[in-house]
Amino acid sequence: MSIGIREHAVLLAASYPAREYSAKADSQEIAAAVKALIGAVFQHGWSVVFGGHPTISPLILMMAREYGRRNSITIYQSEYFRNHVGQATLALLGEGYGRLEVIPNDASEPVPGPEEYPDATKCPLSLSAMRSAMIGHPGLLGLLLIGGDSGLAEESALFRRSFPRLPIVPLGGPGGIAKEFAKDAATPGMDPELRTALSGSRNYLFLCARIVHYLEAQRQEA
């Protein structure tokens, strides 16, 4: 791990769903939940690992600037998107808030040129390789799910295979596929009241603070 990146980290899988779950999610609620979660993580002194989704990167940049948390973010992206790195991701790197891990694309999925549209549905093997590398990031304490579509399902399955005992914590309030996962969250040792709140609570500041304390308790018991 690069010097300056904090030891303990949470893996965030979040997006505004654009396909099957687009009508089952609230973009404003997703944004509110992401910002509350990042704030709670930063307050606890941990770092954030995520896949550089273009709709989520601006929210993380906003919170990094608000908290001044340099060297607290690791962004994983596939080489498939090397010609289309978003402005928010570039700002996160340029302003010293974190680093970028670029994972080679699958040879069968050529990198689109600067003038081509990088269609995520055309690079499933490259995205799987990126997700596998991201889930192998050192020091992960758990996977947090917000909103999302089928990609979050793949990340959740990969994470569970790699870390059978680490928590997967979905926030159901914003909708998306995370809401379905909240019904049967893999959260060992979680207080029943908090487990119930995952399904639909929109009091994200309070909820995310409790989630971070839960992850801390699980870390200490490990």
H-state helical runs in the chain: 27-43, 57-67, 87-94, 124-135, 150-162, 177-182, 192-200, 204-221
| Per-residue pLDDT reduced to its tens digit, 167-222 | 999 999 999 999 999 988 889 899 999 999 999 999 999 999 999 999 999 999 87
**CA–CA distances in Å: residue 98 to residues 52, 106, 157:** 12, 25, 26
pLDDT range class, residue 1, cuts 50, 70, 90: very low
Tokens encoding 194: 């908090």
Full-model pTM: 0.93
Q: What local confidence, expressed as pLDDT, does residue 2 receive?
A: 39
Going from the N-terminus, what domains does the chain have, and what CATH number goes with each? 9-221 (3.40.50.450)
Task: Check residue 18 and give its pLDDT.
Answer: 79
Predicted confidence (pLDDT) per residue in 92-130, tens digit: 999 999 999 999 999 999 999 999 989 988 999 999 999
% of the chain at pLDDT higher than 70: 97
Token output for 42: 């930063």
Q: Is the pLDDT of residue 6 over 70?
A: no
pLDDT in tens, 126-163: 999 999 999 999 999 999 999 998 888 899 999 999 99
As a whole number of angstroms, the distance between CA 214 and CA 210 comes to 6
